[in-house]
Amino acid sequence: MGLMRHSRHDLGRGMRWLLILCGPMNLAGAICFAPPFPAGRQLLGLPEAPPLYLWILSSWVLAFGVAYLLQGWSGRASRGVLAVGAWGKAVFGAVLLAQSATGDLPWQAGAAAVPDLLLAAVFVVWLWRSRAVAPAVGLSCAPDRRAGDRVDA
């Protein structure tokens, strides 16, 4: 077998499994936010909302769950999806924690925020570690030359 070439979009085994597991987690979240299933929201102490907003939230949570599952399954990351996912999970978790800390939501809502906050942190760390680092070029004081430029002696 030849040497495998790794790119900054390749996922390690741990990140692959984490993303695969995010699929069912997001599916559970999508069901919890879907209007026909208020029991999940009640269990977490989340307030009711108009069905329009619940359907929008549910569909986006499901869409990201599918995206995470496919990335984990394929072993290839979409940095944009992971960056937006990290942002969404961090904001969702921070809002739930803040609302729970102020007493606007029960402690169960704050506890439900912890997995999203942890996943947001893992996504950010992975994005940081796998970023493309530009090589140190252009450190020379010599002028740039283009093909076809005349060099006078």
Report CA 44 to chain centroid distance, whole Å.
22
Q: From residue 39, give the alpha-carbon distance in Å to each of 43, 45, 62.
A: 6, 10, 18
pTM score: 0.78
Helix, coil or strand: residue 39 = helix
pLDDT digits (tens, 9 = 90+) for 76-112: 999 999 999 999 999 999 999 999 999 999 999 999 9
Coil/strand/helix, residue 102? coil
Task: List, for residues 11-28, the tens digit of each pLDDT value.
Answer: 889 999 999 999 999 999
